[in-house]
Structure 1
Amino acid sequence: MAYRIADARHALMDGYGALMFGGRWNSPGFEVIYASLSYSCAMLEVLAHIGRQGIIPKNHRYIKISIPQSLKIESFAKQNKHWNSPDTIASRAYGDKWIKEERTVALIVPSVVATEDKDIVINPKHPDYRKIKASPPQDIIWNERLFT
């Protein structure tokens, strides 16, 4: 099970944002969907990206993503010591190659904001993507202490 939190004004299972702007594991031009293997890590990833502005996000929703156990998933081993570098060169190079080669439908990677937790990068262009299912979007109950 994976969890994705995003602004509900955008499709939660589309990689358009990553396609346009890139992310830690993809360069612009490569469509992927970012999620986390735990709900709390997904929340932490959102908090890291929105910053501490003191404003509780009102439009965010979450989905649960179910990936059948029969599908092959690659796990990134922290073999490159620069995987978490702020410039993202090493992690993007790895992710771009993984996408181009269509090695697996999903790639498990360490979370940069919580390095003992895992995120998952999903390739919506992979042939096995159609086997992945997502729940309907659900409201997030943010604890206001996170924003004060």
Structure 2
Amino acid sequence: MRVYRLSHRLALQRNPHPFIPTPGQARWNSAGVRVAYTSEHPALVAMEILAYWHNYPTLSGYRLFSLTLPDGSVEHVPTTIDIHDYAQTRPFGDLWVREARSLALAVPSVVVPLSTNYLINPAHAGFANLTYTDHGEFAYDGRVQNLLATAQTHKGPGGQERE
């Protein structure tokens, strides 16, 4: 199974390996726990970035990467986990990383229903055997860039409506 990740040039300057992220907090991990978020398709990974448009001054500077997950290396999150409840998702993801139960964890996308993201555990023993492909610069279409520019002129920090 091939998975995709967008990495910004600034992140790649700090660490040139696109699948070893900074240990920042996210939906499936607490601060200090490294998890690389990937998606089943380049379009989904692009939508996941767009969900946080208010955090970025521009959508430029990204590169698209992919890697192939070996058969049997993916665990699926239980359907009993409420993916909208950080009190459930973060402890589950943190434990998954600590126990190194699998190289990847399949989780439902919150941004695009019926789609799947794959968390990669860079601390897992199988991670060292992975090779990734650099597909080059990733550019959002000008219409998407214009949409972001328009939204930024009408919204303040955090996506709040300007008065």
TM-score bucket of the superposed structures, by smaller chain: 0.7 to 0.9
Deviation track 1:82-121 (CA, whole Å, cap 9, x = no partner) reads 3223xx2211011011111110011010011012110010
Which segment is superposed worse, 132-141 or 91-100? 132-141
- Specify the alignment match of 1:25 in structure 2: 28
Q: Which amino acid aligns with 2:64?
A: Y
Taking only aligned residues, the RMSD between alpha carbons, in angstroms, comes to 1.8
- Normalised by the length of structure 1, the TM-score is 0.86
Structure 2 residue runs without a partner (length 5+): 13-17, 148-163
CA contact (8 A) 1:15 1:33 kept: yes
Deviations 1:32-74 (A, max 9, x none): 1111011110000010012398x652211110112122x4210
Shift of 1:137: 4.9
* Larger relative helix fraction: 2
Aligned amino acid, residue 25 of structure 2: G
For the 8 Å contact 1:68–1:131, the answer to whether it is kept is no
1:46 aligned to 29, 40, 49, which one? 49
Instruction: Please say which structure displays the higher CA radius of gyration.
Output: 2
| Separation in structure 2 between the aligned mates of residue 68 and residue 133 of structure 1, nearest angstrom | 11
Q: Give identity over the alignment, percent.
A: 24
Could you say if the C-alpha distance between residues 137 and 14 of structure 1 is closer, same or farther in structure 2, counting changes exceeding 3 Å? farther
Would you identify which runs of 4 or more consecutive aligned residues in structure 1 move more than 3 Å? none
Are 1:145 and 2:147 matched, yes or no?
Answer: no
Describe the SS at the equivalent of 1:14. coil
Q: Is the 8 A contact 2:5 2:66 kept in 1?
A: yes
Residue from 14, 31, 44 that aligns with 2:20: 14
Is structure 2 residue 108 aligned with structure 1 residue 106?
Answer: no
Aligned length: 140
Q: Which residue of structure 2 lines up, in the alignment, with residue 115 of structure 1?
A: 113
Within a 5 Å distance, the mapping from 1:36-115 to structure 2 comes to 36-51=39-54, 56-69=58-71, 71-80=72-81, 82-85=82-85, 88-115=86-113
Inter-partner Cα distance in structure 2 for 1:93 and 1:115: 22
State whether residues 56 and 142 of structure 1, in contact with CA within 8 Å, keep that contact through their aligned partners in structure 2: no
